[in-house]
Homo-oligomer: A and B are copies of this chain.
């Protein structure tokens, strides 16, 4: 009758259900739960049900991006800590900064890789264009300049 179970709409923060996030990020429920098993997400609970805050949602977005970049869940996990710098002691801030700089270095290398690969593939694309055009022009020529 009275909403005995409806989670408190106390703090004006909107929350998300697992299915909602799954749909939004194109993941399965299993996958999101797996991220929790691995300690990448620690959603609140409304009874048994998982309740995700904006912060959880942001973390999930970071996880997805990390995955797109080819990092393992373990790597993404360390990665995530970097975004929680606010509540860290000066002691471990230096550690986090070291970690951040290592990641930056890794990403700079990856940036090189991506750019080089892009350049090569674009060259290949152009080369194919070239080949195809020559061939078609050649065909046209050998057909005694039938067109034009």
Q: Which residues of A contact B (CB under 8 A)?
A: 65, 68-71, 82-83, 85, 90, 93-94, 96-97, 100-101, 103-104, 107-111, 113-118, 120-122, 124-125, 127-129, 131-132, 135
Contacts and interface: CB of A to CB of B under 8 A. Distances in A.
A110 B71 CA distance: 12
A65 to B, nearest CB: 5
A129 B135 CA distance: 60
A121 B62 CA distance: 12
Nearest to A106: B68
A120 B61 CA distance: 14
A117 B85 contact: no
Nearest to A120: B83
Given A111-B115, A125-B101, A131 B69 contact: no
Contact of A69 (B70, B83, B103): B70
Contact of A113 (B68, B104, B113): B68
A132 B68 contact: no
Nearest to A71: B70
A97 B65 contact: no
Contact of A110 (B68, B94, B101, B103): B68
A85 B115 contact: no
Contact of A85 (B71, B83, B111, B124): B124
